[in-house]
Amino acid sequence: MVAGLKGQSRGAKEQLSASVLLFRPATVLGWHRALVRRKWRYKQGPSVGRPRKNEELEAWIVRIAKENAGLGYEKIQGELAKLGYKVSPNTVKQVMKRHGIPPAPERKKYGMSWRTFIGHYKDQMLASDFFTLETVGLKTIYVLFFLEVGPRSVHIAGFTTNPTGEWVAQQARQMVWKLDSRQPSIRFLIRDNDSKFTKLFDEAFTDADTTY
């Protein structure tokens, strides 16, 4: 009788061990990562708006802007026309903004390359962006953060599942208030063209005399 109980106990332990092996943490995390990849793959719809110019043209815009501090958007457009590229001044502007290149007056004023500009004014620069987290239930959480470029201090502004323009702008206002007494003061803001960064977001910084 005792031998029979021991045999049943041993069999139960083996079944339990087999079940535990099926649900190791690494396995569960692997499933979650696969579900997250599938979720974002399905969320990608057709692209909206005009496509970016090809990489070669974008590289020329960046090169001309960096090597010619006094050229504005239209002047760069003219130089590109000589190379056979037909592009609008607004496209030049958008490419330069994506690469963090300031407009001609700013570049010419300081008479320096972008690398030198960053090195000189890094303590007066603030960068902003989002990163995302996925919950177990595959709910996406958007985390807005700001980075002081010089000291590399990161500020987590807030997180939400619905980053509306008003919510993002409010976080920007609070960041401006938080850094109000900072020395040296913030003069430049770096961000990408994410639609979550609305006009209200920019106004929070332009009202504080920040260039973006």
One domain for residues 83 and 63: yes
Assess if residue 32 is contained within a domain.
no
One domain for residues 97 and 119: no
Last residue of a domain, one of 92, 111, 130: 111
Distance (Å, rounded) from C-alpha 51 to C-alpha 57? 13
Quote the pTM value.
0.56
Assess if residue 211 is contained within a domain.
no
Q: What average pLDDT does the chain have?
A: 80
Q: What is the mean pLDDT of residues 118-144?
A: 90
Considering its fold, how many domains does the chain have in total?
Answer: 2
Which residue range forms the structural domain that includes residue 132? 115-206
Assess if residue 88 is contained within a domain.
yes
Q: What is the mean pLDDT of residues 129-139?
A: 90
Assess if residue 142 is contained within a domain.
yes
One domain for residues 177 and 137: yes
Assess if residue 24 is contained within a domain.
no
Assess if residue 196 is contained within a domain.
yes
> Would you say 145 and 120 are in contact if contact means Cβ atoms under 8 Å apart?
no
For residue 68, what pLDDT band results from cuts at 50, 70 and 90? confident
